[in-house]
Amino acid sequence: MEVDDEEVFHRNSFIYYRACPVVAAVGAAGGWSIIKNSSGIKVYERAVPPDLMEYMGVTAIDAKMEVIGEVLRDVPNFNKWQADCFGAQVEKKFDKNTMVIYMVLNPPLIEGRDIVLKNKTVYDWDNSKALITFAATDEVKIPVQKKRTRVTVMKGSYDMEYLGRSRTKFVYKLLVDPAGTFPRNGLFSNERISIQHAEDLKKIGRRREICQSLRKELKKKQISKKGREMRSM
């Protein structure tokens, strides 16, 4: 059965999973340290035992929450806005809010990576919030290709909150072991990946062609839903 976007998620569960919504308190809560503050984006990091770093980007995007949500559901077009993404596709769809996706990454100068992720989306329309979580999974078996390294440790979230009619607070978290052998600083660092990803996400609001296309699609869905409701009366 398909889960409706307007399904209300229980407040206690939502608060448990949310990713530090108050920017001013982020540094004090959970051991986060700020490493970047420019162009409307704040990026934080913290150490995660035994030897990984977790990153969080906080920004505001000039687009509606539901439009950003549709961009993050539009898996085949990830390569149009995600740095290093060569291609992505849905491998298994449980409902429109839960799916397993396969991504191929071609970072500069090093061997390509691929990853199998399970994405889950929850909208809390009553409180004008949404949460998308993702994590590496072996739920769908995909053979590793030659000259590619499989990333098996990755988890994170996109946490959205309504700020205005066409403005959304956006908190992005990422914990990943990129696997393989390469220098973990400068061009190849998770810090660089996280900052670039936050910048890419902020550009969503300025990608007029993406937003216009998704607004039309959302309008069609709303008209279709209204028609079904009228026919059932």
**What ranges do the domains of the chain cover?**
11-207
- pLDDT over 90 at 86, yes or no: yes
Q: Please tell me the predicted confidence (pLDDT) of residue 170.
A: 93
Highest-pLDDT range among 14-28, 33-47, 185-199, 204-218: 33-47
- pLDDT over 70 at 184, yes or no: no
* Top-confidence residue, 12 or 34: 34
DSSP H helices in the chain: 11-17, 23-26, 65-73, 190-202, 208-231
C-alpha 63/C-alpha 60 separation (Å) is 9
Provide the percentage of residues in the chain whose pLDDT is more than 90: 42
* pTM of the predicted protein model: 0.74
Q: Which of 42-51, 136-145, 183-192 has the lowest mean pLDDT?
A: 183-192
Between β-strands 148-151 and 112-124, what pairing exists: parallel, antiparallel or unpaired? parallel
179-211 residues labelled b (16+ CB within 10 A) or e (exposed)? eeeeeeeeebbbbbbbbebbbbbbebbebeebb
**Contact in structure between 78 and 103 (CB atoms under 8 Å):** yes
- The CATH fold of domain 11-207: Alpha-D-Glucose-1,6-Bisphosphate; Chain A, domain 4 (3.30.530)
When pLDDT is cut at 50, 70 and 90, the band that residue 218 belongs to is low
Q: Please tell me the predicted confidence (pLDDT) of residue 6.
A: 37
- pLDDT over 60 at 109, yes or no: yes
Q: Please tell me the predicted confidence (pLDDT) of residue 206.
A: 60
- pLDDT over 60 at 215, yes or no: no
Per-chain mean pLDDT for the chain: 77
* Top-confidence residue, 70 or 196: 70
- pLDDT over 60 at 18, yes or no: no
When pLDDT is cut at 50, 70 and 90, the band that residue 227 belongs to is very low
pLDDT in tens, 130-165: 999 999 999 999 999 888 999 999 999 999 999 998
